[in-house]
Amino acid sequence: MKKNILFPFLLLALFLVSCDEDNVEPTLDIPDTYTSASFDANVTAENTVVDELSTMTSAANAAESDAQSSTVASISYPTTLSSVTLSDYRGLVEDWLVELVKAANSPTGFQNPGNDQPATGEEGGLLGSRLLDENGLELEQMVQKGSFGAALYNHALDVINGDLSNSAAIDKLVEIHGADMGFDPANTTAAATYSRRRSDLDNETGFFFDIRNSLIKAKAAIEAGSGFEEERDEALAEYLLSWEESNFATVIYYCNATKSQLQAATALPDGPNREAALGNAMHAYAEGVAFAHGFRGLSEKQITDAEIDNILTLLLAPAGQTPESYRFLNEVSLLANLDQIIDDIQAIYGFTEAEVTSFFVNNNP
């Protein structure tokens, strides 16, 4: 009987096909939208932190509104917010809240020391409608905007470095950034307000939407079960980098705004309009200081603390030293520092010229 010599080869082919099927890598199915059946229940702690930051900010706003007109009471540092804040920054916020109230209760407005230093016992006051300390720094911005990094981003790191076995962790990352479950640009708060402002809302591109897409992917990876840890970790790294980049793109925005507003203000004649314009310029300046300072000391970021220290030095507000913010009101040459900061941040993150220019504009719904 004649042997069928093809049969062994057929068996081998079937075996190889079977092996190939067994070795096919599963693919991650990523939905188009973010959904969660228990979002509100999952983000109770994060909602408390964001609400407490809003409450503290409202108290600081009220102190500014009442400055030099009525006695301003002390402002408390909310417990949960304080607990998630980097220890070094927590100590600064505690001091700034005290100094902010002193400035509000000062019997005079802000006294520009010119080429000298603030007088002994000077506590600051209003410049236009902005409440500055004696050094020319608006402390309201330091306690609010700096907390976006030192408290909110810091808490996000704790979540990411904690238990990721349940996708409820990703809900927490949505909330602590300041977005809602639908990522509606009109419903942002906290840091998400600024990732939104640095994004193209018409085309749904930029940091806010990158953060949305990263969290959708991370949630899908967790819910798909084991085998997608790499995709999950990649998505979470992208989330953190997009938040960080939006933070320092916002520093670029405020450096440009400070320069433009100072130039416009100093061209005005002496009087209330000039004072108001100068106050607004120092408001923009303080936002830039706060956004930069708030990331100092954080782990898992691209920018180094040394690079942040260089930014703060150029802003005349180095960490651990008394700021000389008032000098921006008096020395035109310091405007070059703002240009240098923009160039440095562009180099750190590899932003294109077109991207930097786009950061000069606030994109609102």
Task: Provide the number of structural domains found in the chain.
Answer: 1
Indicate the pLDDT class of residue 25, thresholds 50, 70 and 90: confident
Range of the domain at 202: 39-45+140-358
Q: What is the pLDDT of residues 127-143, one digit of tens each?
A: 999 999 999 999 999 99
Work out the average pLDDT over 319-348. 98
Indicate the pLDDT class of residue 199, thresholds 50, 70 and 90: very high
Alpha-carbon distance of 296 to 150, in angstroms, equals 8
**Which residue has better confidence, 2 or 31?**
31
What integer pLDDT is reported at residue 6 of this predicted model? Answer: 41
* Residue 31, in any domain of the structure: no
Alpha-carbon distance of 329 to 48, in angstroms, equals 38
At 114, list the tokens: 């010119």
* Residue 238, in any domain of the structure: yes
* Residue 347, in any domain of the structure: yes
Work out the average pLDDT over 117-129. 95
Indicate the pLDDT class of residue 365, thresholds 50, 70 and 90: confident
* Residue 91, in any domain of the structure: no
At 109, list the tokens: 């407005």
Pair 191, 246: CB distance under 8 Å: yes
pLDDT above 70 for 60: yes
What integer pLDDT is reported at residue 1 of this predicted model? Answer: 41
* Residue 150, in any domain of the structure: yes
CB atoms within 10 A of CB 117: 14
pLDDT above 90 for 88: yes
Name the percent of the chain lying above pLDDT 70: 93
* Residue 120, in any domain of the structure: no
Alpha-carbon distance of 341 to 337, in angstroms, equals 6
Work out the average pLDDT over 316-335. 98
Half-sphere exposure of 229 (CA within 13 A, CB side): 5
Pair 157, 149: CB distance under 8 Å: no
* Residue 350, in any domain of the structure: yes
At 39, list the tokens: 């979002």
Q: What is the 3-state secondary structure (H, E, C) of the chain?
A: CCCCCHHHHHHHHHHHHHHHHHCCCCCCCCCCCCCCCCHHHHCHHHHHHHHHHHHHHHHHHHHHHHCCCCCCCCCCCCHHHHHCCCHHHHHHHHHHHHHHHHHHCCCCCCCCCCCCCCCCCCCCEEECCEEECCCCCCHHHHHHHHHHHHHHHHHHHHHHCCCCCCCHHHHHHHHHHCCCCCCCHHHCCHHHHHHHHCEECCCCEEHHHHHHHHHHHHHHHHHCCCCCHHHHHHHHHHHHHHHHHHHHHHHHHHHHHHHHHHHHHHCCCCCHHHHHHHHHHHHHHHHHHHHHHCCCCCCCCCCCHHHHHHHHHHCCCCCCCCCCHHHHHCCHHHHHHHHHHHHHHHHHHCCCHHHHHHCCCCCCC
Indicate the pLDDT class of residue 23, thresholds 50, 70 and 90: low
Q: What is the pLDDT of residues 210-241, one digit of tens each?
A: 999 999 999 999 999 989 999 999 999 999 99
Indicate the pLDDT class of residue 11, thresholds 50, 70 and 90: very low
The residues with which 127 forms a beta bridge, in sequence order, are 130
Q: What is the pLDDT of residues 61-87, one digit of tens each?
A: 999 999 989 999 999 999 999 999 999
Pair 173, 39: CB distance under 8 Å: no
Alpha-carbon distance of 188 to 314, in angstroms, equals 31
Indicate the pLDDT class of residue 26, thresholds 50, 70 and 90: confident
* Residue 218, in any domain of the structure: yes
> How would you class 130 by CB atoms within 10 Å of its CB: exposed for 0-12, middle for 13-18, buried for 19 or more?
buried
pLDDT above 70 for 21: no
Work out the average pLDDT over 104-121. 94
What integer pLDDT is reported at residue 24 of this predicted model? Answer: 62
**Please, what is the average pLDDT of the chain?**
94
